[in-house]
Each structure stands twice: as C-alpha cells, then as structure tokens.
C-alpha cells in the first residue's frame, strides 16, 4: 500500500530511477497520491518527468476536471522540474 509520505520520500531522494514509478502513481485513485506524485516528479525533474506532468494537466482538461488551484500546482511542479 502506497502512502503520501512514501511518495514524498521518493521526491526528496530525487533519484531519476523513481520517475517511472511516480508516473504510474499519477494515475492512482487517490487524489492525494496523484498530487504528491506530481510534486515528487517536479522535484526530480528531467524531460520524462516534465512530459508526465504536462500529460496529467492535459488529461485533466480533456476530462473536464480542470480545477484552477490544482492546475496551478501542476504547472508549478512542471516549472520546478524544468529548472
């Protein structure tokens, strides 16, 4: 069972080897896990992480789940990941 603190720890470690795991967690049922995964990807950075973050935002828009504050958090994570 994955919890928010575990996902946060992966972001703090900031090892690119966790990017694929975190990308998978952006599709979790729990909105907390999704959000923490996006933040962790932002901390790790790199092209793959940035692309995954933008895909989450794009999917939210397509699904009609565009919520301003969540979307701004996603954009902030992408910005951080880009350096």
Q: Angle formed by the axes of helices 4-13 and 31-44, to 10°?
A: 10
pLDDT at 1: 79
Closest residue by Cα to residue 48 from 1, 81, 83, 12: 81
Closest residue by Cα to residue 40 from 23, 55, 57, 56: 23
pLDDT, averaged in runs of 10, over the chain (83 residues): 92 95 94 91 92 88 74 79 80
pLDDT at 20: 97
pLDDT at 67: 67
């Amino acid at each position: 069972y994955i919890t928010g603190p575990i996902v946060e720890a992966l972001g703090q470690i900031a090892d690119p080897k966790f990017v694929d795991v975190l990308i998978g967690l952006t599709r979790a049922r729990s909105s907390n896990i999704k959000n923490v995964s996006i933040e962790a990807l932002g901390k790790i950075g790199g092209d793959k992480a940035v692309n995954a973050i933008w895909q989450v935002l794009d999917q939210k828009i397509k699904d009609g789940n565009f919520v301003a504050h969540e979307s701004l958090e996603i954009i902030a994570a992408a910005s951080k990941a880009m350096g």
